[in-house]
Structure 1
Amino acid sequence: MAKLIGEDVDGPARLRELLSRGEPVVAPGVYDALGARLVEEAGFGVVYMTGFGTTASLIGRPDVGLLTMSEMVGNARRIDSAVELPVIADADTGYGNALNVIRTVREYETAGVAGIHIEDQVAPKRCGHMEGKQVVPAETMVDKVRAAVQARRNPDFVLIARTDARAVEGVDAAIERAHRYLDAGADALFVEALQSDEEIERVAAEFAGVPLVFNWAEGGKTPPKDFDRLRQLGFRLILCPISTLLAATRAMREVLARIAADGTPARVVADLPGFGEFTDFIGLPEVNELGKQFGAG
């Protein structure tokens, strides 16, 4: 687990090393620091900060471009500070034009994350698996990618270019755009919301040898694929963006229904993590030890 006092892990270098291996990297999505610690405890190598989940958790609203860059970066900073794993964060459209992208990259770098993805949607954007998306001209996104490459201070910081053009212009245009973003300097490609096995296989073949992202969007437009098939196709990064959000929602509903019915949580508390177990997990023993060491206990 991450330490309150300790050396920072070189997240960008570690992420690049993981993506260079033959095995796909699975990155569960989280929307807060507690979720990140649970991902770390479960043994995953990378944490993904979901924009969908961040929006739902911070303001209780859908992912339709309602959060600002500073709100997203603040969440990314808290998530990164909680774990010793590389963090990949959703950076939406980059929050403006190419000049805004320069600031966005530097703010996310300062927050400590290992990489981000930016997309070619018109602002305000929408979740990639919702209807009603629009995309900017490809030239506009090329300029954003070029600006992002020049803006990063750490050359290992991973820049993922995402295109949402499949839903707007078709798969041919999405592939053409992805080629242009790769030529502009993107480290990895994310062709969002493919709608058939044939489209998935075509994109994988088109970009053989290029780090590709597969968004295993729970309930979304893309057909679900098992891990072995994604490995065969050559995908390097598998995002599972909202499993934790949906699981937490279900669990809280069940507990709240029981409390509403009984008036207390007496009938469910035995099935929950114990108070002591939970405080140990979130670092109370370490805090107590540091308090003694520095006279704050």
Structure 2
Amino acid sequence: MFENLKLNGRSMHSLQRKTERIIAIFDGKPHLASCVRILDFLGFNLKRPEKEGIYAQIAKGVIQRLSKVDTINFNDVHWERLSSLLRAALSERDVFDTFADLASLLKPRDVPESAHTIPRSIKLDEFLTNEIHTFTPWFQEELCPFEIRDLRFLRMHIYGHYESTAFMVHHAGPNLRKLELRYRSGLGASDLVHLGHMPNLNSFVLDICDSGVGTDILIPWIRSFFEPLLRLDGHTHPLRHFTLVIAVASHESDTAQWELEWDQYAVLDQLFANSVFASLEMVNIVVKRSNLQKLIIPTELLGWKLPFLKGSWKLKVDFQ
């Protein structure tokens, strides 16, 4: 319990009880506070007068006692909506007000204290975000200390702002090994990103489960993503794994609708049968639906629509 301390701000009643319990434990056994190494904040995203009291308790009774914390995780936390007292307590634990402050901490140790952080001197290996549009303006600034061209793994939850998505793929693409695009609101123009931007990609996850798009939009997007590689004669792309996450909305008993739906996915067979994708090992289609038992029989149609992938043992269908 004490190595990883989790605080959930979504329920004020539960947060109040847990905070009081932690304070009571630390009051009785102060040494236990030094056992905490990881501090997780979840759901601190609303600013209300009634929260000031509990935030003050957390700051004074919990945060200020944690002398050995080396990791702080924020999930759905709006920094500006925390009380000034709580922000101050967290800042003393090396949480910074701005991206620039964080960058100054990460600069090479041999840079003099009086010097500014060297542009592009902090090379990122992995980057995961659900607010890409807030980072791309910073990444484009001339004095930005972060270099994204060396990224190996990029995961983005995308809520619009498709140009920001394209910027990241274009700039990080040459060295990317793993890409995960999780769309939450449409897919954007189909020509914004394609596999040609990522000549070294090994793994690609496309999650449209919550995007609200159907096959009429998805299939042209998939064609546009993969087809540029087909024009490169004699070239083999290193892509080994492709995962497609979809949500199925057709009525379970509508067999004709199932047939029509799965017919559209034949494009995957046509694309991946090309020699440019000779390195491909697995296409994993993840089907999300609440009533899985009724979904199994219609989904078997998918294997029949993709004879190349099924016959070469490169097709896997999962239910979630």
TM-score higher than 0.5 here?
no
Larger radius of gyration: 2
* Bigger fraction of residues in helix: 1
Q: TM-score range by the shorter chain?
A: 0.3 to 0.5
TM-score normalised by the chain length of structure 2 = 0.31
* TM-score, normalisation: structure 1: 0.33
